[in-house]
Amino acid sequence: MAQQQKQTSIKLISECFVKPKYEVEASKQPYHLSPPEIGMLSIDPIQKGLLFTIKNTHSNGANDRTKVVSRLFDKLKHSLSIALVHFYPLAGRFVTERYPDEHACCIYIDCNKGRGARLIYVTALDVTVSDIVSSTDVPPIVRSFFELGDIMVNHDGHTRALLSIQVTELLDGVFIGFTMNHSVGDGTSFLHFISVLSEIFWSEENIGQKSK
């Protein structure tokens, strides 16, 4: 029952969709899927999460924590728009073209279809970092830290974002949940994307500090 109460504690604060910061000429062409990638359409997307502790050092710790997470969300939005210049298919959607006379169809990514990659900010203020790391098994609440806990398969990329990032503000930390359509990339490419996004984020952070 306690876990169910935590499940209902998720509160959506804001949501937006992010496109590449600059126009990418190559994105005007279809991005075709290989046979193995098409074979992944019926399975789940791939997900990874990053968990950080936020230490409150002032009496108004809750306000300080929210400011930190809000700032992180805004900078992540900016960094994501830059990363998508290099990973532009992740901002698109699947398209299926049917050829009835040939009894065939073709599935590809229209890189300019849809609103872009999904970025979500939610709070779960009755969940602590310890609640997550102290359990032997992954707590059920963690499912809600990815795509608001929605269940889907890769084929849903026809109407849903191929990439989503959810920032979940915890009582004493923040969880960043990444969800990528598994028909677009494997685990190696997924980790490469997260690495590039992190490098952009921290480089932008350093530039911002130097400009102050």
Residue 196 lies in a domain: yes
Residue 88 lies in a domain: yes
Residue 4 lies in a domain: no
Residue 3 lies in a domain: no
Residue 2 lies in a domain: no
**3-state secondary structure string, 5-70?**
HHHCCCEEEEEEEECCCCCCHHHHCCEECCHHHHCCCCCCCEEEEEEEECCCCCCCHHHHHHHHHH
pTM of the model: 0.89
Structural domain range at position 138 = 9-211
Please tell me the predicted confidence (pLDDT) of residue 7: 47
Residue 123 lies in a domain: yes
Tokens of residue 8, six digits: 């209902």
Please tell me the predicted confidence (pLDDT) of residue 138: 87
Q: CATH code at 46?
A: 3.30.559.10
Residue 120 lies in a domain: yes
Count how many domains the chain has: 1
β pairing state of 104-110 and 93-99: antiparallel
Sheet holding 11-18, edge to edge: 11-18, 117-124, 163-170, 173-180, 46-53
pLDDT tens track, the chain, 212 positions: 344 444 448 999 999 999 999 999 999 999 999 999 999 999 999 999 999 999 864 555 677 889 999 999 999 999 999 999 999 999 999 999 988 888 788 999 999 999 999 999 999 999 999 999 998 888 999 999 999 999 999 999 999 999 999 999 999 999 999 999 999 999 999 999 999 999 999 987 665 555 55
